[in-house]
Amino acid sequence: MTAMFRRLPAWLALAAVMSLGAQAFATTKEQTLVDKARLAVDALRDDSKFSAFPRLLAEAKAVLIMPELIKIGFIFGGEGGSGVLLVRDTETGHWSQPAFYTMGAGSFGLQIGAQVAEVAFVVMTEGGLEKLMSDKVTLGVDASIAAGPIGAGVEAGMTFNIDVDIYSFAHTKGLFGGISFEGAVVVPDDEANETYYGKSITARGIVLHGEVRNPDADALRAALGKK
């Protein structure tokens, strides 16, 4: 590698080094998000208030994990973040490779505060999953959403509304009392997917067709598959 750079003009060698550096940074950024998603899954599993989370996860079609969903507000408010979607194979129980997504929403009202949340959107229906395979999905409009039941006393025999496409579970820190996901827009992050897998790939190709693999995501997949 060093000999190759010596044969290049100075300006071209500098450009090559900068390009390699940018690629390494981008890869690290995507992997950091995957690692934070794993920690978010562990945190939700370990919190007795979210005892319904692993139960729903075991029956889910997919899960979208936003490890750092940020909400800020001063009169105008908004929320946004990046996350990963994984689909569960209903026959084997194994989880797919992660596809990267972004989420954003806006609101208006008298509000002051800041909040960071670890959020898992548990996708329970084929319709909800298919909506996430589109270019854009608006929660509460294109796919129904409800807050997952919270409390250590959630009974094991409790049944859930089969008409709800997505249940949300959120760890929150900050001045807001909670986060409403109605109206939030979720879109695939094609650039992040290409960076992480080294080729142009759609979310559908990643989670449904298994066209790519990154072994650095195995820890997240294992965390989702815990019993």
pLDDT in tens, 125-157: 999 999 999 999 999 999 999 988 876 555 555
At residue 1, the pLDDT reads 47
Residues in the chain: 227
> What mean pLDDT is reported for the chain?
82
User: What pTM does this model have?
Assistant: 0.81
SS3 112: strand
pLDDT band at residue 158 under the 50/70/90 scheme: low
pLDDT band at residue 80 under the 50/70/90 scheme: confident
Instruction: Compute the average pLDDT of residues 166-171.
Output: 91
pLDDT band at residue 34 under the 50/70/90 scheme: very high
Measured CA to CA, the distance from residue 162 to residue 157 in angstroms comes to 15
Instruction: Compute the average pLDDT of residues 145-174.
Output: 75
Q: What is the pLDDT of residues 199-216, one digit of tens each?
A: 999 999 999 999 999 999
Between 39 and 182, the more confident residue is: 39
Measured CA to CA, the distance from residue 84 to residue 46 in angstroms comes to 20
Largest CA distance in the chain: 70
Q: Which helix (H) or strand (E) holds 169?
A: strand 166-174
Q: Can you give the residue range of the structural domain that contains 158?
A: 2-224
Instruction: Compute the average pLDDT of residues 102-106.
Output: 83
At residue 11, the pLDDT reads 39
- The number of domains in the chain is 1
Instruction: Compute the average pLDDT of residues 7-16.
Output: 43
Instruction: Compute the average pLDDT of residues 154-162.
Output: 58
pLDDT band at residue 20 under the 50/70/90 scheme: very low
Q: Is 110 exposed, middle or buried (0-12, 13-18, 19+ CB in 10 A)?
A: exposed
For the record, the structure tokens of 177 come out as 């009392």
Q: What is the pLDDT of residues 36-74, one digit of tens each?
A: 999 999 999 998 888 899 989 999 999 999 998 877 665
Burial 46-76 (b: 16+ CB within 10 A, else e): eeeebbbbebbbeebbbbbbbbbbebbbeee
At residue 205, the pLDDT reads 98
Measured CA to CA, the distance from residue 100 to residue 104 in angstroms comes to 14
Candidate from 10-19, 62-71, 141-150, 182-191 with smallest mean pLDDT? 10-19
At residue 176, the pLDDT reads 54
